[in-house]
Amino acid sequence: MTRARAFLLSVVAVAAPGGLGGQAATTLARTGATFESYSFGTGLAFSRISEFTIPIAVTQRLGDRLVLDVGTAFVNASVRPVGNNGTIDHSGLVDTDIRATIAVIPGKLVFNLLGTIPTGATAVPDTTIPLFGATATDLLGFTTPSFGSGGGMSAGFASAFKLGSDWAIGAGASYRYGASYTPVRGGDELTPGGEIRARLGVEGPLGSGKYFRGALVFTTTATNDISGGTQSTIGNRVLGYAATSLPLGNSNLSVYGWDMRRLRARPGTYPVPRGNVLALGARLERPLSPRATLAPLLEFRHELTGPGQNMQLLGLLVRTGTDLRYRLSDHATGVLQAQLAFGSIRNDSDQSVSVTGPRLGVLIEWAR
């Protein structure tokens, strides 16, 4: 699932059904529009990157044990190279995810089956490569970081058990198969390597209304084969996440942090360099009325990368802004989002280049 669909789940209060919890709405539909743009100072190959995304997601519960999810997005993205009056553009659908979640043991064990239909971009012109690379960085965190693949399938499970009287521990694992495709028009065919992901999480109350959630995710990917005898490799990834929420008057404060480390890749023709992304943030949810909730946020993000023994700073970014969540009716919830990010990126000459830009969004969820 791309950030475009995950973004809807993170900003709308009504949780999707089908997890390990209790009953929820039978049908949920989510859509909206998000615009984000970054301007860069002198020293990079481009001066601006912009992206406009319309995510679409539908969740349908079928009985007590089966939930179906369908998600896709329309995206329009552009990058403006330095010294060029024009832009490099891409517009179209991204891949479509269809997921079935089966409650094997309700409340304790679920089985997930995900199919990715290649409705997104494949065999793109080589002139769009700078755009695809610029939107994929974790530092900027674009809503839609990638625009297409050859499709694929993944299967996995998730389980949860009580840990003492109030805490719970959960575990899950999945395997993903990616179909072969040609990323660049007239280029070589890429056969993605299989990917295994394992997750372990824990959550529970800390007393005085505080609540803790933590998780550790390990991902390993086999070698990506490229026609002509070349290979692309990427190292194992380890992601740690922790969040604590606590009451603050009539508001609720959430403090969170996550760190993703990409280890050294196996030998190959095109090894992906090591990397490390760290994010620390806080979010305050303050009710303004029975229908409206204001949620200001502040996040710091920091990324390192490089093939050497010591990784180099890629950049740092501070993001601030607010969400305004409003219950439109008994079935619909809307969200207005306004954020501003500012920071710096290091170029190939190890010079600091300024970056700044807004993220604006309008989202709606309907449930029955």
* Distance set, CA 155 to CA 1, 37, 95 (Å): 13, 35, 18
Positive/negative CA dihedral, 162, 163, 166, 169 = negative
- Structure letter (DSSP) for residue 126: G
Of 7-16, 178-187, 191-200, 341-350, least confident by mean pLDDT is 7-16
Torsional class of 288: left (φ above 0), alpha (ψ -120 to 50), beta (otherwise): alpha
Where residue 24 falls among pLDDT bands split at 50, 70, 90?
Answer: low
* pLDDT of 22 over the 60 cut: no
pLDDT at 85: 74
Both structure tokens of 28: 């949920």
> Tokens for 269?
């023709």
Is the Cβ–Cβ distance between 211 and 244 less than 8 Å?
yes
The predicted-structure confidence for 355-364, as pLDDT tens digits, reads as follows 999 999 999 9
Which 3 state secondary structure label does DSSP give 306? strand
Is pLDDT above 90 for 83?
no
User: At residue 12, what is the residue type?
Assistant: V
Q: Please tell me the pTM assigned to this model.
A: 0.89
Q: Report how far Cα 26 is from the mean position of its chain's Cα atoms.
A: 25
Distance CA 301, CA 306 (A): 17
What integer pLDDT is reported at residue 19 of this predicted model? 42
Q: How far does the chain reach from its first CA to its final CA, in angstroms?
A: 24
User: The domain spanning residue 32 has which CATH number?
Assistant: 2.40.160.40
Alpha-carbon dihedral sign for residues 326, 328, 331, 332: negative
- Name the amino acid, one letter, at 101: T
Domain housing 109: 3-367
Split into its structural domains, the chain has a count of 1
- Percent of the chain whose pLDDT exceeds 70: 93
Q: Which residue has tokens 């949810």?
A: 285
Which tens digits make up the pLDDT trace of 102-153?
999 988 899 999 999 999 988 888 888 888 888 888 999 999 999 999 999 9
